[in-house]
Chains A and B, each alone.
Chain A
C-alpha cells in the first residue's frame, strides 16, 4: 500500500467507518477514537496488507474488535469534546414525507440488542453484502440473515409504536425545515 492508496482509503471509508463506530458506541468522542485507531492500525500494517481492496473489511473488523475489547463495557458519562464538531451534511434535502433523520435512526439502532445492531449498521452502510458482514463480524452467513430479519422486525415495531417520534426529534444539521 502506498501513501496515495492510503489517502484514497481514508477518503472512501472515513465517514462510513465513523458512522459504524457511532452506531456501536453512540458517543462521538469514542466513535472518533475508534475510527482513528482503526486507520492508524491500518497504517501500521500497511506492509502486510497486500491487496488494497481488503482494506475495507480489515478496517471494519478491526474497529469492531476494538469496540468489543475496550468500549462495550465502558459507556462513560456522555460528554462531547468541544473540538469535535461534526460537519453538516451538504447533500440535497430529503424528499417530503421522509421524516426519519439521523438522530432518529441512531436512537432506534441504539435500542437494539448489540447482536443485531452491528450487522444492521453494516447493512445500512449499503456497501456491505451479507457475506462481507459475516466476515467482518466473524459469524456464519445464516446468522447474518436471521439477525438482520429480527433487527428489522424490531426496528419496524419501534417505529410503528412511535419510539422515535419524528415530531419530537432533533433535526439533523442542514436538514432543518421549520416550514
Chain B
C-alpha cells in the first residue's frame, strides 16, 4: 500500500474510534504504524477532524421545530395501529386515512409551522442576538452592510452614533416574520467586543417593548434601544458595562 492510497482510505476513518475494528482500515492503519511521517499525518488528520466535528456539534435545531414534529405523534399512532393488520381492507382504509391525516398535518405544518408570530412581551432581544449563527452577508465596513441591506429592502439605520458607524464590521443578517416585518442586524466589533445593532421596521418596532435610552441586562447581554427619526434601533453586546457609554 502506498501513502496516497492509505490517506484516501483513512480520510473516512472517524476520529472517535468507531472504526477501530473495521477490517477495511486495518492495512492502512498498519501502514501508518510503520511510517513515522504517515503516523504524524494520521494524528494531525484526526485532530483536524475532531476540531471540525466539535465546531459543528454546537449547532442545535430550534426547540419549536422539535415540538412541532412531536405534535404529530397521535397521527403516527394511528398509522402504527393500522399497519398491524395488513390483510384487512378496513385496515388498509384506516392506513390510507391516517396517511391522509399525516399529509394534511404536513401541509398544515408547512403553513402554520411554528404557530403565530411573536407578540410584544414574547420577544427577547437577547435571544435574537444569541441566535445568530450564520450571517447573510459579510463585509468589513458598516457602509457596505447598509448598502447591502438597502438593496434588499431590509431596514437600514438612518444614522448611527459615530462609534458604531466607524466600527469594524463583521456582517449583517435579516430576520422576518410572517406578516412581512423585518429586523436587520449589523454586527460590528469594537475593541474586540462583538456589538449587534438591530434596526426595526414599522411592522416589527412594537415587538421591542423596552424603555428607550436606558441600558438594561438580559441573559448576559447589555442592551439599549432608541429611536431616530421614527426608526427604532437597539444594541446588544456582552461588552463590560464600563465600555458601554463609549458605544453611543
> Which residues in A have some Cβ–Cβ distance to B below 8 Å?
1-3, 6-7, 10, 14-15, 17-19, 22-23, 26, 28, 31-33, 35-37, 39-41, 43-44, 46-48, 77-89, 91, 94, 98, 100-107, 121, 123-127, 129-130, 133, 144-146, 148-149, 152, 155-156, 168-176, 178-179
**Which residues of chain A have C-beta atoms less than 8 A from B146's C-beta?**
none
Please, what's the 1-or-0 string for B17-42, where 1 marks a CB less than 8 Å from any CB in chain A? 01100100000000000000000000
A168: nearest chain-B partner, CB-CB: B170
- The answer to whether B51 and A170 touch across the interface, beta carbons within 8 angstroms, is no
Contact A172 B53 (CB under 8 A): no
Q: Which residue from A32, A83, A91 sits with its C-beta under 8 Å from B61? A: A32
C-alpha spacing A141/B97, complex, angstroms:
40
Contact string, B222-248, partner A, CB cutoff 8 A, digits 1/0?
A: 000000000000000011100000000
Could you say which residues of chain A place their CB within 8 Å of the CB of B217? Answer: none
A129 to chain B, nearest CB (A): 7
Q: Which residue of B lies closest to A86 (CB)?
A: B131
Whether A156 pairs with B48 at a CB distance below 8 angstroms is yes
Cβ–Cβ contact A104 & B66, under 8 A? no
Q: How far is the CA of A114 from the CA of B72 in the complex (A)?
A: 32
Contact B61 A86 (CB under 8 A): yes
Residues of A within 8 A of B178 (CB): 81, 83
- Does the CB pair A82–B117 fall under 8 Å? yes
Decide: A126 and B118 in contact? CB cutoff 8 A: no
A117 vs chain B, min Cβ distance (A) = 12
A1 to B52, CA, bound (A): 34
Interchain pairs with CB closer than 8 A, number: 251
Q: Is the CB of B76 within 8 A of A129?
A: no
Q: B177 touching A105 by the CB < 8 A rule?
A: no
Residues of B in contact with A (beta carbons under 8 Å apart): 7-9, 11-12, 14-16, 18-19, 22, 45, 48-49, 51-66, 68-70, 72-73, 75-77, 79-80, 82-83, 95, 99, 102-103, 105-106, 109-110, 113-115, 117-118, 123, 127-128, 130-137, 140, 152, 154, 170-171, 173-178, 181-183, 187, 189, 192-194, 204, 207, 238-240
Least CB separation from A31: chain B residue: B61
Chain A: which residue is nearest B219 at the CB level? A88
Q: Which of A19, A46, A80 contacts B174 (CB 8 A)?
A: A80
**Contact in complex: A26, B76 (CB < 8 Å):** no
The answer for the CA separation of A167 and B67 in the assembled complex, in Å, is: 36
When distances are taken between beta carbons in the complex, the residues of chain B under 8 Å from A176 are 194, 238
Contact of B102 among A19, A26, A43, A169 (CB under 8 A): A43
Task: Given A19-B56, A178-B239, decide whether A85 and B103 contact each other with a Cβ distance below 8 A.
Answer: no
A174 to B82, CA, bound (A): 45
Of A3, A129, A174, the contact of B14 (CB 8 Å cutoff)? A129
Instruction: Give the residue name and chain of the A residue nearest to B19 (CB).
Output: A129
> How far apart are the CA atoms of A107 and B106 in the complex, in Å?
31
Residue of B15, B65, B194 touching A36 (CB-CB under 8 A) = B65
What chain A residues lie within 8 Å of B66 (beta carbons)? 10, 14
Residues of chain B lying within 8 A (CB to CB) of residue A175 = 58
Contact A82 B69 (CB under 8 A): no
Task: Please report the C-alpha to C-alpha distance between residue A74 and residue B144 in the assembled complex, in whole angstroms.
Answer: 25
Residue from the list B53, B105, B106 in contact with A124, Cβ < 8 A: B53
Tell whether, in the assembled complex, residue B7 and residue A82 are in contact, meaning their CB atoms are under 8 Å apart. Answer: no
